[in-house]
Amino acid sequence: MVDPVELDARGYAVIPALLDRERCAALRALFDDEAAFRKTVVMERVGFGRGVYKYLAAPVPGPIAALRERLYAELLPVANRWSERLGENARYPATLAEMLARCAAAGQTRPTPLILRYRPGDHNALHQDLYGEVAFPLQATVLLSEPGPDFAGGEFVLVEQRPRKQSLVHVVPLGLGDAVVFPNAVRPVQGARGAFRTRVRHGVSELRSGERFSLGLIFHDAR
Ligand SMILES: O=C(O)CCC(=O)C(=O)O
Ligand SMILES: [Fe+2]
């Protein structure tokens, strides 16, 4: 379960052991099943960092689709509250299916769940996962490898660009199967006179050794 108080206060929250060891191993193994994916990105070629990620093809495998649906429902109240606090008054639909229908109507029809793989020297440069006008303000990443036995380095980081202040970095400690929920692009921060907006980007620091896999769950589809 996501802790909404922590999410509001810090802008991100960890869900411990969202996926068990077996599910993580199955998703790591899926990475080599080319038929499961619609697109492979070699990050170095596009300047996004170093490493490889693959977007799952439609239909997204049942367990991943179910997890995406469940997290969407949990994050929905937070998304609507953030929007209200930022004075945007966007209202997100009650279910992921309706959110994806909204994406499709805007030409965003390709699934965005992805699996990423990092090897020594690989990293993910700071970025935001926006794929068109329709966007859900929170997303999740699940760590599919175990820090220590499987890899070293490769820390998940968030950088907050605050108005009239220097940027703030958060290093999020994750264990095998843990998920981090974080802002897709911006979040409201409580100030003395109401909420203001900070711009948030995420990335992964350089992997020092081993192999690190992760599952990215974004709640809007892509063009
Ligand atoms: O590998 C990670 O921890 C981050 C992956 C990522 O950028 C994402 O899930 O959107
Ligand atoms: Fe990302």
CA of 93 from ligand 2 middle (Å) equals: 23
Residue 141 CB less than 6 A away from ligand 1: yes
14's enclosing H/E stretch is strand 13-15
Residue spans of the domains in the chain: they are 4-218
Quick one: which ligand is closest to 118's CA? 1
| Structural fold of domain 4-218 | Jelly Rolls (2.60.120)
d(CA 170, CA 150): 23
ipTM of the complex: 0.99
In a 3-state reduction of DSSP, which class is residue 164? coil
**Which residue, by CA, sits nearest to atom 1 of ligand 1?**
214
Please, are residues 205 and 52 in contact by the beta-carbon 8 Å criterion?
no
Q: Which of 22, 55, 21 is nearest to 38 (CA)?
A: 55
CB-based neighbours (< 5 A) of ligand 2, an ion: 129
d(CA 117, CA 53): 6
Q: Which of 139, 134, 137, 72 is nearest to 108 (CA)?
A: 134
Please, are residues 120 and 51 in contact by the beta-carbon 8 Å criterion?
no
pLDDT (tens, 9 = 90+) of the chain, 223 residues, equals: 899 999 999 999 999 999 999 999 999 999 999 999 999 999 999 999 999 999 999 999 999 999 999 999 999 999 999 999 999 988 999 999 999 999 999 999 999 999 999 999 999 999 999 999 999 999 999 999 999 999 999 999 999 999 889 999 999 999 999 999 999 999 999 888 889 999 999 999 999 999 999 999 999 999 9
**Which residue, by CA, sits nearest to atom 7 of ligand 1?**
203
Which ligand 1 atom sits closest to the C-alpha of 180?
3
Distance of CA 11 to the CA centre of its chain: 13
Residue 122 CB less than 6 A away from ligand 1: no
